[in-house]
């Protein structure tokens, strides 16, 4: 089964490594690891602030891989793009294998084989499971921890025996690793810990193990995390505490979107389960009311607890519940009531209702599209620009006039030449529109991206020179002074015209006082150098259309 899971996730990784889902899969993991190994890359505000809120633990998982590629001379963009996702695919496969073994232990192999069908036919799971989010690593480690965890009063009572105590220690080790990767994972494990305490009863020796083991293992793992973060940042720091202050106390995360309290129930659960939603409902009923399925009640309590706590927070994202997906699929598998005669995946497929099988087959083209094609241009343009930097006419500078973090950065550009004018990102020879969070309590906040998209024509006419300097100097952030505009958040951004501009084609169609943005850029001497198809439809209107690279005519490029 492990070979099957590895093969499926490895195949999917070849597609997802060429597409973009959300910026964090690059900017909060690979970009940081790239900077550690290769010495250049961009650190977002989460890493660069005086009180950083990100732990180095997750990016550190990719450092050995990058270092090996560098030492072997294999740090080509094609390898740098695919290798991290293949590494994540292997970790996900191992996590799924442990989840499968847990289902076998709970309900037997027939139900576990049906779980494999349900799990690997989940479009959301395949779309996200090989992406380099901290959530995906967290999910795999959670599955490993849950396999070893004592999930019943009788199992907890056996902690006085050495083999069971060793398993409990393994569970705690992997559980605290998930907290190290994502501090919010503590919500899940707090629920698990409280539930385990209810299984202790009056057994004092068991209570000692349930209380003492998490204390020393947690101190060891999390203490190592603090040491590792302090080593990386160069001073003693605890990003998990800063993360809590920023996202819970000051609620900065709400700047990136807020949803209704029921969003996880009404949007996420149907997305996770699709045509198995009805089976999930039946499975919940069986787990609650039928004694033969009571072994899954701890999973149900944990899922309900985690969803409840997360629903109290304003900022919600679908991948925040990724940790629960394997267990939600367990309930759907139980709801299908698989017969004990199932001995293979072929038998498991046959017991699934025909209408569901038709739906699963019908969704295959959609699955291929979202995994291998949707958002493809946002990655392809960076590899194209890398190739240009190695050509006889490399870009002298590149400006990204698109929503911030719409593409990967140096983890895919892998172009040290773009750092020659100073660190790229906010300034330098390669820059993009920034979107740092607001100061606490600033309800009227605008970031640089907001200023640009409010009136692209005004931004281009007032923050760029009238004439293009064909030496294409770097953007110098140190020379920027506030414009004196009415907004206190206007930093006075000033740009030099770059040799290459990257944007979404929807921007070119925006009307101006004398035509369109395309006409304005043509008047400055820019011509289309490359165009990449990105998506059939994009929910963000600013990211609609193709990704276009405009090149100044002085670079010797002819085009429309």
Tell me the per-residue pLDDT of 114-143, one tens digit each, with 9 for 90 and over. 999 999 999 999 999 999 999 999 999 999
Same domain, residue pair 427 and 543: yes
The residue from 371, 401, 435 where one domain ends is: 371
In this structure, is residue 87 part of a structural domain? yes
> Please, are residues 71 and 79 in contact by the beta-carbon 8 Å criterion?
no
* pLDDT tens-digit readout, 18-32: 999 999 999 999 999
Are 380 and 364 in a shared domain?
A: no
Mean pLDDT of 327-337: 95
Separation of alpha carbons 110 and 116, rounded Å: 10
Q: Give the pLDDT of residue 478.
A: 67
The stretch 337-357 carries a mean pLDDT of 90
pLDDT in tens, 482-532: 666 667 888 888 999 999 999 999 999 999 888 999 999 999 999 999 999
pLDDT of residue 49: 86
Q: Do β-strands 511-512 and 515-516 pair in parallel, antiparallel, or remain unpaired?
A: antiparallel
Domain that holds residue 478: 376-555
User: Are residues 325 and 404 both part of a single domain?
Assistant: no
Q: Give tens-digit pLDDT for 253-269.
A: 666 677 889 999 999 99
List, in sequence order, every residue forming a beta bridge with 504; answer none if it has no partner.
547
Write the DSSP symbol of residue 527.
Answer: E
State whether 115 and 197 are in the same domain: yes
Which of 334, 350, 371 is the C-terminal boundary of a domain?
371
Same domain, 179 and 217: yes
| pLDDT above 60: residue 558 | no
Last residue of one domain, picked from the residues 310, 339, 371: 371
Domain co-membership, 387 together with 366: no
User: Considering its fold, how many domains does the chain have in total?
Assistant: 2
Query: Which residue from 48, 436, 53, 56 is spatially nearest to 245, judged by alpha carbons?
Result: 53
Residues 527 and 396 in one domain: yes
**pLDDT score for 131:** 97
Which neighbouring-strand residues pair with 432? 400
Q: Above 90 in pLDDT, residue 533?
A: yes
Place of tokens 């009788």: 154
What is the four-CA torsion angle of 405, 408, 410, 413, rounded to 10 degrees? -130
Same domain, residue pair 357 and 415:
no
pLDDT of residue 255: 66
The pLDDT of residue 202: 84
What pTM, to 2 d.p., does this model score? 0.93
Residue 42 shares a structural domain with residue 185: yes
Q: Is residue 560 part of a domain?
A: no
Q: Which residues pair with 547 in a beta bridge?
A: 504, 532
Residue 532, phi then psi, degrees to nearest 5: -130, 125
Residues 6+ apart with CB under 8 A from 174: 141, 142, 144, 145, 148
Task: For residues 25 and 54, state if they share a domain.
Answer: yes
Structure tokens at 502: 């990257």
DSSP string for 447-458: -HHHHHHH-HHH
Both tokens of residue 329? 């699929």
pLDDT of 425 over the 70 cut: yes
Predicted confidence (pLDDT) per residue in 216-253, tens digit: 999 999 999 999 999 999 999 999 888 888 777 766 66
Q: Sheet harboring 547-552: ordered strands across?
A: 430-432, 398-400, 500-504, 547-552, 526-532
Residue 491 included in any domain = yes
Phi and psi torsions of 511, nearest 5°: -75, 145
Q: Which of 7, 3, 30, 48 is nearest to 426 (CA)?
A: 48
Q: What does 294-353 look like in DSSP terms, one character per residue?
A: GGGHHHHHHHHHHHHHHHTSS---GGGGGGGHHHHHHHHHHHT---TT--SHHHHHHHS-
What are the E-state strand segments in 2-153? Answer: none
In this prediction, residue 315 has a pLDDT band, given cuts at 50, 70 and 90, of confident
Q: How far apart are CA 549 and CA 515, in angstroms?
A: 20
Mean pLDDT, rounded, for 153-169: 93
pLDDT at residue number 85: 97
C-alpha–C-alpha distance, residues 232 and 57, integer Å:
10
Q: Are 527 and 550 in contact (CB under 8 A)?
A: yes
Determine the average pLDDT of the residues in 429-454.
87
- pLDDT for 246 equals 77
The residues, any chain, with a CB within 8 Å of residue 285's CB and separated by 6 or more, are 335
Q: Is the pLDDT of residue 64 over 70?
A: yes
The pLDDT value given to residue 441:
63
Task: Name the percent of the chain lying above pLDDT 70.
Answer: 96
Q: Strand pairing partners for 355?
A: none
Does residue 560 have a pLDDT over 60? no
The CA radius of gyration of the chain, in Å to the nearest whole number, is: 26
Beta bridge pairs of residue 425: 431
Phi and psi at 315, nearest 5°, equal -80, 120
Residues 271 and 420 in one domain: no
Q: Are strands 398-400 and 430-432 parallel, antiparallel or unpaired?
A: parallel
More confident residue, 250 or 427: 427
One domain for residues 339 and 367: yes
Cβ proximity of 91 and 48 under 8 Å: no
Q: What is the mean pLDDT of the chain?
A: 93
């Amino acid at each position: 089964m492990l070979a099957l899971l590895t093969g499926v996730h490895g195949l999917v990784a070849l597609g997802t490594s060429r597409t973009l889902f959300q910026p964090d899969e690059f900017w909060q993991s690979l970009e940081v690891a790239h900077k550690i190994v290769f010495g250049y890359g961009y650190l977002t505000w989460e890493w660069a602030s005086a009180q950083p809120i990100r732990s180095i633990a997750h990016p550190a998982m990719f450092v050995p891989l990058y270092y090996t590629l560098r030492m072997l001379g294999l740090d080509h963009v094609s390898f740098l793009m695919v290798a991290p996702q293949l590494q994540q695919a292997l970790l996900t496969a191992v996590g799924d294998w442990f989840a499968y073994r847990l289902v076998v232990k709970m309900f037997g192999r027939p139900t576990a084989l049906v779980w494999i069908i349900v799990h690997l036919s989940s479009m959301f799971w395949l779309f996200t499971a090989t992406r380099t989010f901290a959530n995906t690593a967290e999910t795999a480690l959670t599955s490993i921890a849950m396999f070893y965890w004592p999930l019943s009063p009788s199992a907890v009572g056996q902690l006085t025996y050495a083999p069971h105590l060793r398993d409990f220690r393994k569970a705690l080790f992997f559980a605290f690793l998930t907290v190290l990767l994502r501090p919010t994972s503590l919500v899940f494990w707090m629920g698990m810990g409280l539930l385990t305490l209810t299984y202790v009863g009056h057994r004092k020796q068991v209570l000692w193990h349930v209380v003492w083991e998490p204390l020393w293992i947690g101190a060891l793992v999390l203490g190592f995390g603090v040491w590792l973060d302090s080593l990386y940042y160069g001073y003693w720091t605890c990003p998990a505490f800063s993360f809590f202050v920023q996202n819970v106390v000051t609620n900065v995360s709400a700047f990136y979107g807020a949803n209704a309290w029921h969003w996880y129930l009404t949007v996420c659960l149907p997305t996770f389960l699709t045509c198995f939603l009805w089976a999930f409902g039946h499975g919940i009923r069986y787990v609650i009311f039928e004694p033969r399925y009571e072994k899954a009640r701890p999973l149900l309590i944990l899922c309900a607890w985690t969803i409840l706590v997360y629903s109290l927070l304003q900022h919600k994202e679908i991948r925040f519940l990724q940790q629960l997906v394997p267990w939600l699929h367990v309930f759907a598998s139980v709801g299908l009531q698989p017969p004990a005669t199932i001995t293979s995946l072929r038998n498991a497929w046959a017991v699934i209702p025909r209408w569901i099988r038709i739906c699963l087959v019908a969704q295959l083209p959609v699955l291929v599209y979202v995994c291998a094609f949707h958002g493809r241009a946002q990655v392809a343009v960076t590899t194209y620009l890398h190739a240009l930097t190695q050509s006889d006419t490399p870009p002298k500078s590149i400006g990204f006039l698109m929503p911030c973090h719409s593409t990967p950065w140096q983890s895919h550009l892998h172009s040290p030449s773009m750092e020659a004018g100073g660190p790229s990102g906010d300034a330098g020879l390669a820059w993009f529109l920034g979107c740092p969070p607001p100061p606490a309590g600033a309800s009227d906040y605008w970031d640089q991206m907001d200023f640009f998209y409010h009136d692209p024509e005004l931004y281009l006419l007032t923050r760029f020179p009238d004439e293009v300097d064909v030496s294409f100097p770097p953007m110098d952030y140190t020379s920027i002074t506030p414009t004196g505009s009415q907004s206190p958040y206007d930093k006075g951004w000033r740009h030099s015209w770059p040799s290459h501009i990257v944007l979404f084609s929807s921007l070119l169609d925006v009307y101006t006082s004398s035509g369109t943005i395309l006409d304005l850029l043509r008047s400055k001497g820019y011509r289309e150098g490359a165009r990449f198809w990105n998506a059939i439809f994009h929910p963000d209107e600013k990211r609609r259309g193709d990704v276009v690279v405009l090149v100044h005519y002085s670079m010797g490029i002819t085009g429309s």
